[in-house]
Amino acid sequence: MEWYGLKFDTVTNDVILKAVIPLFEMERVYPQTYNLIMDLLPSNHYTYFARIHDKDGNVNDNVDVYFQGSVDSIKQWCTSYSHTFPFDINDQNIIKKIFIWGCVYNTTSGELTHVKAYTRESFSL
């Protein structure tokens, strides 16, 4: 899974690159960061990463981390490590649509800064 996206800042008009990094490539290029992140995750199923690059080639200190896991296991992990769970656990509409979890790892502090839940949406025209 190798892909990228361009992010457009409507305030500064900056364009930044978000490059997705497969698990094996993260381990090869950033082995220390890879090991630190993997030790913090609740699951390593379907894990991949992304880094932000600016137009000058600078890489942001944050690493986006994506992984799969059950709602219950992620909720328990958030509680155990004092992470804020990203939505109301009683909202069955969200639970049915979750397809992957994400978090942000700060390479300077060595901490996960927040947890995200991504849902799959479908729209009829």
In sequence order, what DSSP letters do the residues of 35-91 get, joined into one string? HHHHHH-S--EEEEEEEEE-TT-PEEEEEEEEEE--HHHHHHHHHHTTPPPSS-TT-
Report the alpha-carbon distance of residue 45 to residue 82 in Å, rounded: 22
Element (H, E) at 93: helix 92-95
Beta carbons of 94 and 117 less than 8 angstroms apart = yes
With a cut of 50, list the residues of the chain below it in pLDDT: none
Is the pTM higher than 0.85? The answer reads: yes
For 69-100, write each residue's pLDDT tens digit: 999 999 999 999 999 999 999 999 999 999 99
Report the alpha-carbon distance of residue 64 to residue 51 in Å, rounded: 6
Mean pLDDT of the chain: 92
Q: Which residues pair with 51 in a beta bridge?
A: 19, 63
**Domain map (residue ranges) of the chain:** 4-113
Report pLDDT for 83: 95
